Structure 1
């Protein structure tokens, strides 16, 4: 029995070494991609901007507004309630006021802003 154990282990190792460890399937002569040329000539995909900073502002009329400034420095999301639907505000270029249809406007992006909401004139707000 002493002589069979090393022989059995050698046979087992030789069988295991013959296994193919490549997990990727091999595709040989598959169908051609009909959109290959269109994909090669497609414009690069641009991801939407991420939230750069979020602030909760207390305005002079004692109301709260919530503003998320996005990483492109030209877009902000304004909410009048913490869990409310955001209003997308867009600036013509970085540093200009963020505006949206309906009378929404936000000037500034730091700890103090001036917000204009529908039916209200510009209100000074602090974070």
Structure 2
């Protein structure tokens, strides 16, 4: 009884030996062209986390939403619950938070003074 298995194995070995690759296979593609720029880049500073989010009712019965950040020098103010935030900053921690256009928040507790463009400063409570 003849076995065809040895003949098939020999044929497979001969076909593989005919490939004859002389160069190694490159995996992962070329080197990163920006590797030097990334290595020499300045470290990235993440923004501070939200310390407190407050919703204030002001004297004119409007609602203002303020997110106070943990650095005590930055806050985000929104005039609508899902509106675009306005970034407010202070020169030093605990100071009045201001932005271009006339936005200002003085204080950070449950009672603050808020100025929004088109309205004067008004007292607001959380």
Q: TM-score, normalised by structure 1?
A: 0.68
Supply the distance in 1 between the matched residues of 2:38 and 2:84 (Cα, whole angstroms).
36
Greater alpha carbon shift after TM alignment, 33-42 vs 105-114: 33-42
Greater alpha carbon shift after TM alignment, 32-41 vs 79-88: 32-41
Please give the residue correspondences for 1:32-43 in structure 2 after superposition, counting only pairs within 5 Å. 35-43=34-42
- Structure 1, unaligned runs of 5 or more: 1-26
**Residue in structure 1 matched with residue 114 of structure 2 by the alignment:** 115
Which protein has the larger Cα radius of gyration, Structure 1 or Structure 2? 2
Please give the residue correspondences for 1:1-127 in structure 2 after superposition, counting only pairs within 5 Å. 35-127=34-126
Supply the distance in 2 between the matched residues of 1:115 and 1:31 (Cα, whole angstroms).
55
Q: Secondary structure at the match of 1:78?
A: strand
Supply the distance in 2 between the matched residues of 1:93 and 1:48 (Cα, whole angstroms).
16
Q: TM-score, normalised by structure 2?
A: 0.69
Please provide the CA RMSD for this pair. Answer: 2.0
Supply the distance in 2 between the matched residues of 1:75 and 1:110 (Cα, whole angstroms).
14
What is the deviation of 1:34?
5.2
Q: Secondary structure at the match of 2:47?
A: coil
Supply the distance in 1 between the matched residues of 2:101 and 2:115 (Cα, whole angstroms).
10
- Structure 2, unaligned runs of 5 or more: 1-25
Distance 1:40 1:56, change over 3 A: same
Distance 1:123 1:41, change over 3 A: same
| Aligned residues between the structures | 100
